[in-house]
Amino acid sequence: MQKLKIIIMLFLVIGGTACPAQQPEVRLQPGDLLFRGAATGNLSEAIDKVTQTETETHFSHVGLVEHVDGSVFVLHADPKGGTCRVLLQEFLQPEKDSVEVVAYRLKAEWQNAIPEALGRARDMLGKPYNFSYILSDTAHYCSEFVHRAFVADSVFQLNPMTFKDPETGDFFPTWVDYYQKLELDIPEGLSGCNPNGMAASDKLERLGQVQ
């Protein structure tokens, strides 16, 4: 009998370690922000490299959650679709890349900014993507789109942009090639925003990864 008890206890211990507790499901609310990890690709990686913060997140894209008739949508600015509304699942699985998507929520004192921000985001739908990353009224990139949605309440701040390698102080070759093709000067020092900087805001709380 004693041997049987020992075997049962070992089974329970081994079984417990083999089946770790699952991460609680994140229940998204309107106004939550979804940050997508850096995908494989020179530009995505270059964005991540030059926008690192002390929190050491690795995000290269951001969108805004909206609920419509029981379905969850994401409002965002995408290089292919411009400023658009897509179903959550489409945002979570862009093309072939499997990337991490992490949800953040505005803290309680900033929640009242959400309804008007969603309205402004809807008003911006249909505009082209801002490939220059220079602030514009006629085209938007992802974090610019979210910043403008919340601009009336000053939720997110603009900061001088940099396109330089923090280790060498030189421009990343990816950015040099990118702006040469656009026939534009690199907008070093101009005001802008980025997903990593937004995720580091003290007005947000991290909810966890969205499955």
202-to-29, 143, 154, 166, 168 alpha-carbon distances in Å: 19, 16, 13, 23, 29
Burial of 45 from C-beta contacts in 10 A (0-12 / 13-18 / 19+)? middle
- Do β-strands 191-192 and 204-209 pair in parallel, antiparallel, or remain unpaired? unpaired
User: Can you give the pTM of this predicted structure?
Assistant: 0.84
- pLDDT of residue 205 exceeding 50, the answer is yes
Give me 85's structure tokens.
Answer: 């509304």
Q: Are 107 and 44 in contact (CB under 8 A)?
A: no
CA–CA separation, 162 vs 51, rounded Å?
A: 8
CA–CA separation, 130 vs 175, rounded Å?
A: 15
The full set of domains in the chain, from first to last, is 28-209 (3.90.1720.10)
Q: Which pLDDT score, from 0 to 100, does residue 16 have?
A: 42
- pLDDT of residue 12 exceeding 70, the answer is no
Q: Which helix (H) or strand (E) holds 12?
A: helix 2-18
CA–CA separation, 58 vs 17, rounded Å?
A: 30
Q: Are 140 and 121 in contact (CB under 8 A)?
A: no
- pLDDT of residue 22 exceeding 80, the answer is no
Residue, of 208 and 15, whose pLDDT is higher? 208
Q: Which pLDDT score, from 0 to 100, does residue 112 have?
A: 96
Tens digits of residue pLDDT in 96-151: 666 889 999 999 999 999 999 999 999 999 999 999 999 999 999 999 999 999 99
Tens digits of residue pLDDT in 37-59: 876 556 777 777 777 666 678 88
CA–CA separation, 44 vs 56, rounded Å?
A: 16
Q: Which pLDDT score, from 0 to 100, does residue 176 have?
A: 94
Q: Are 79 and 131 in contact (CB under 8 A)?
A: yes
Closest CA to 89 of 74, 68, 104: 74
Give me 78's structure tokens.
Answer: 């995408």
Q: How many helices (H) and strands (E) does the chain have?
A: 7, 8
Q: Are 130 and 140 in contact (CB under 8 A)?
A: yes
